[in-house]
Amino acid sequence: MDLSIPAMDLFLSSSNCSTVRFANLYYRSPAPLRRRTFAVRSTALPFPNHKAKYFRELQAAVDVVERACRLCLDVKSSLSAKSDGRIVEKNDQTPVTVADFGVQALVSLELGKLFPSIPLVAEEDSAFVRSNNLVEPVVNAVTGCLSSIDKSRTEADVLEAIDRGGKDAFVFCTKPATYWVLDPIDGTRGFLKGTEALYVVGLALVVDGEIVLAVMGCPNWKEDLRNKSISEVQGYKNILSESGIVMVAHLGCGTWARRLIFERQDTINVPHSWTRCCVDHYSLVHEARFCIPESQTWDSLPISALFNATTDANSIGDNQILLLPQCCGSLCKYLMVASGRASVFILRTRDEKTIKAWDHAAGIICVHEAGGQVSDWEGYQIDLTADQTERRIIFPLGGVLVTNGTLHNQIIEIIYRV
């Protein structure tokens, strides 16, 4: 492992960087640590295999998520030229595209080949593909991203792969289990909006109720060039606008990210190096940067009783906090907190809407391993085994709170008092 390469400061990170494990009940804020920003070559994972129990699984997850991001970009580029049957509405009125089903099929095929005994919990099923005339475009999207030995997969193979992650594919009962959790595209509305709104391919591995690794791929994450040298800035200008990041986390090994780059043939090579991800350093609630779901308003949250919100970073008044508007989907907001670009993500449970495991699993470990904390509104860890038979739904008390760790107990206290 080469640690001599200069750090690529991908994120607006802070000096507080720590690795924490899941805790029960109220979390203690992590102690400040000295800045750790260094990079390693991306020919392998950013830590040696003897440090990571699930090294092989994480390698496979990184590979398939990167190819899934490529699939998303391919489908997205075709949307502007051809829209017949490619964007439809599911029964819950959330937009879904060929990319959602294509990613689920791709991940299912690749992981099923490598780890056939590990089931997959995912969002989609093939009935919707069949009834909306999406079979051919989904199959075409998948076969274009499969490994070379799998190019001959049939329509039946692809549809079966989608159903491998569907609702009725596996019954867990109350037994301890190992399984993958996949959100094919978290933030599909962001996928449809354009390059400014984020979307994420999120994959996690759960072992006996504990998240042990995760990968999140964000194809349109924008590089912050303010701290780059002139030569670095010029190099990045030559990269396609879809350049993003892939973020990985493994229990006890930290959270890391590197560029997800698709270059033109005539561009220079930008170093593909891993950078340690750290949550931000803010310790006062009114200074923190908040994310909330697009479907919820600031006024619906308890903290609004003490603070108003503004989206104007240049004009934050007294008794106001900054609300970041640019990311869609829950995993996108976990990505923001884990990378240090946001301080807090807060979500309120609603009676009419269930909270799905795939919207949170990959993000939870990425935030934890970056030094942050995740709990429900009463301070308890998120229980992925509460849905004993299917592992598809979580039941956080009050809602979900994701923070940089330092702010966690302060916001729990505000929620309790209000």
Q: Give me the pLDDT at residue 329, please.
A: 85
* Token pair recorded at residue 125: 């099923």
Measuring CA to CA, which residue among 8, 3, 5 is closest to residue 236?
8
Task: Look up residue 321 and give its amino acid.
Answer: I
Q: Give me the pLDDT at residue 86, please.
A: 58
DSSP assignment string, 10-69: -S---S--------SSSPPPPPP------EEETTS-SS-GGG-TTHHHHHHHHHHHHHHH
User: Known catalytic residue: 389?
Assistant: no
Contact 5, 39 (CB under 8 A): yes
What's the CA gap between 390 and 385, in Å, rounded?
A: 9
Distance, C-alpha 384 to centroid of its chain: 17
Which pTM does this prediction carry? 0.83
Is position 359 annotated in a ligand binding site? yes
Give the torsion sign (CA, 213, 218, 219, 222): negative
Q: Give me the pLDDT at residue 197, please.
A: 72
Count of alpha carbons within 13 Å of 12, Cβ hemisphere only?
Answer: 13
Q: Give me the pLDDT at residue 321, please.
A: 92
Q: Give me the pLDDT at residue 165, please.
A: 94
Q: Could you say which of 100, 125, 163, 376 is catalytic?
A: 100
DSSP assignment string, 213-257: EEEEEETTPPP--TTS-HHHHHHHHTS-TT-EEEEEEETTTEEEE
Backbone angles phi, psi at 382, to 5 degrees: -75, 125
Ordered by start, the domain boundaries in the chain are 45-276, 285-417
CATH 3.20.10.10, applies to 45-276: no
Q: Give me the pLDDT at residue 196, please.
A: 65
Q: Give me the pLDDT at residue 167, please.
A: 87
What's the CA gap between 267 and 61, in Å, rounded?
A: 28
Distances (CA, A) of 237 to 232, 233, 247: 9, 6, 22
Is position 123 annotated in a ligand binding site? yes
Q: Give me the pLDDT at residue 74, please.
A: 87
Q: Could you say which of 19, 188, 403, 406 is catalytic?
A: 188
Contact 108, 169 (CB under 8 A): no
Q: Classify burial at 48, counting beta carbons within 10 Å of its beta carbon; exposed 0-12, middle 13-18, buried 19 or more.
A: exposed
Q: Give me the pLDDT at residue 87, please.
A: 67
Distance, C-alpha 54 to centroid of its chain: 19
- CATH architecture of residue range(s) 285-417: 3-Layer(aba) Sandwich (3.40)
Q: Give me the pLDDT at residue 326, please.
A: 66
Q: At what angle do helices 98-114 and 55-79 cross, to 10 degrees?
A: 160
The DSSP H or E segment spanning 123 is: none
Q: Give me the pLDDT at residue 115, please.
A: 97
What's the CA gap between 345 and 136, in Å, rounded?
A: 38
Q: If the chain, 418 residues long, is cut into consecutive pieces of 10 residues, what is the mean pLDDT of each piece?
A: 36 37 35 37 75 95 94 81 59 75 95 95 90 89 78 87 90 87 88 76 96 95 57 44 82 94 47 86 95 91 94 88 84 95 95 92 98 98 93 96 98 94
Q: Give me the pLDDT at residue 272, please.
A: 63
The DSSP H or E segment spanning 188 is: helix 188-193
User: Known catalytic residue: 387?
Assistant: no
Same topology, domains 45-276 and 285-417? Answer is no
